[in-house]
Amino acid sequence: MGKKGIITGVKALDMKLATMEFRVQKKLARRAAKVAAKQIVLPAAKALVPVDTGALEASLKVRALKRTKTRTGYTVQTLGLERPMQAPAVEFGSEKMEADPFLREAIYGNEAAIRLKFAVELKRALVEEGVLGRFAK
């Protein structure tokens, strides 16, 4: 089996991550992903969601994905809606209404910002762990 590792696309971060145990890489990546989801995806989704009663907007939360050996991360989902099918109907449309995708737009419209935030937070975590110097580029 090949060597596992997290690849960020930032050469300096990738090189430092490669020196760490995979378990530690996942821990740091989870931390960075959570910040990116809370600071970029969630506010964007709340800004894009169509507001009728405000229930759909209020139901948006950041939650951890179920961890597996190869997958880790966070998702923005709706929790506690009185009508649970409301979110998919708005996002994908239904027989009675046109699609108004707010979650996909929040992600795909902010890909660069999400990647940048992830890299910045991962770098911050590496500095906190003492793996990367404070002023490293």
> Nearest to residue 119, comparing CAs of 1, 28, 48?
28
Residue 6 domain-assigned? no
Residue 10 domain-assigned? no
pLDDT in the model for residue 53: 86
Q: How many domains does the chain have?
A: 1
Distance of CA 107 to the CA centre of its chain: 8
Residue 9 domain-assigned? no
What pTM value is reported for the model?
Answer: 0.80
Residue-number span of the structural domain to which 49 is assigned: 20-128
Q: Report the alpha-carbon distance of residue 60 to residue 78 in Å, rounded.
A: 5
Residue 134 domain-assigned? no
Residue 15 domain-assigned? no
pLDDT digits (tens, 9 = 90+) for 56-97: 999 999 999 888 877 778 888 888 888 888 899 999 999 999
Residue 110 domain-assigned? yes
Residue 56 domain-assigned? yes
